[in-house]
Amino acid sequence: MEQHEAIIIKALKPMLFQALALKAIRYALISVPFTYNRMEKFNILSRIENIFKGKLAEEIFYHYCQIQHIDVDFESCTTPFWMSDQRDFLWLGGEWDLKNNFFYCTDEDFERFDFTLLPALIPNKTDYDQWSKRNETLLNQSKYMAYIFSFVRLRPDKKAFFKVLLDHRQLDFIHHVAAQYHNLPHSKMASFETWFFQQLDHSRTSEAIEIYYQPEMIITACANARYYHLFHNTSVNDDHYALIHDMAWYEKKSKVVRFLDGKLVTTIRNRTCPVSLLPAFINIAFRK
């Protein structure tokens, strides 16, 4: 991928962005009791925020594909909130996951930011994490597994672009439900959604989220089995890709890995590759 091949999504209509955010927060609230706590966050609000950010990225990407007439199939991969995700979408005969990460960058730096230096990250915290499933297909109609790597730019002076509006009683209720279901998927949850939102007392999900500003989303590169050999572990205990273009790509500090002078921070082991070594999404999506 080259710099000019990055796709920057910005300035969606406010009502559209709000609608995507409402869909994402509703999913985050009801799915958190059944979601694997990979990041080991014990604060229920932090976990809701993480799920919201990931779901919002999916919604923005899906909207982009719709308006650009990119024929991705999200519907076939949709699972109920109480079950583990399979893949994010079907496309070009394969099943795909969107791997999105957030990074911090000022407006001035963003104008000249080198997107090719961003890290493509696939979680590899344990031997059973997402990297171990890179060659598995879960749906009968798919022939291979692949990834798309996207990033959302946050402003360092305004790190939080949203606020989840829940009081202590509501957070305690969600924490209790999560403890009851052990943060694990379940097979059947008949009528749970109606009961959950009645107990939460949020008949209008719009009351649960406030958006401060709209961050940009950058769609970069893709990878399938042809490129997996380029991915190596990065963590506080690994040194792969320590230098890129004769400069330090990341630094290890305490329990985190800080890419690009701290613009993007990871806390778990990932299989990692610079997006510059991978094919650009734009060339696959719009090839003739």
Q: Helix, strand, or coil here: 247?
A: strand
pLDDT tens per residue, range 126-149:
998 999 999 999 888 899 999 999
Average the pLDDT over each of 63-67, 174-178, 268-272 and give the range with the smallest value. Answer: 174-178
Residue 256 lies inside a defined structural domain of this protein? no
Residue with tokens 């409402």: 22
Question: What is the model's pLDDT at position 200?
Answer: 80
pTM for this entry: 0.90
State the chain's mean pLDDT as an integer: 89
Q: How far apart are CA 267 and CA 276, in angstroms?
A: 23
The DSSP bridge pattern shows strands 94-104 and 89-91 to be antiparallel
Q: Which of 164-168, 170-174, 239-243, 279-283 has the highest mean pLDDT?
A: 279-283
Has residue 159 been placed in a domain?
yes
Q: Which domain holds residue 209?
A: 3-224+275-285
Q: Is residue 262 part of a domain?
A: no
Other C-beta atoms closer than 10 Å to the C-beta of 119 total 23
State pLDDT tens for residues 176-230: 888 887 655 555 565 677 788 888 875 455 578 999 999 999 999 999 999 999 9
Using pLDDT thresholds of 50, 70 and 90, give the confidence band for residue 83.
low
Convert the pLDDT of each residue in 232-270 to its tens digit.
999 999 999 998 988 999 999 989 999 999 999 999 999
User: Does residue 268 lie in a domain region?
Assistant: no
Element (H, E) at 94: strand 94-104
At residue 262, φ and ψ (nearest 5 deg) are: 90, 5
And the tokens for 207? 């009351």
CA triplet 112, 117, 121: central angle to 5 degrees? 135
Bridge partner list, 219: 7, 150
Matching residue, tokens 């329990």: 255
Q: Is residue 152 part of a domain?
A: yes
Q: Where are the alpha helices (DSSP H) in the chain?
A: 14-31, 44-67, 107-110, 168-181, 192-200, 281-285
The domain total for the chain is: 1
Label residue 80 by pLDDT band (50, 70, 90).
Answer: low
Strands 247-248 and 243-244: antiparallel
Top pLDDT among 105 and 87 is at: 105
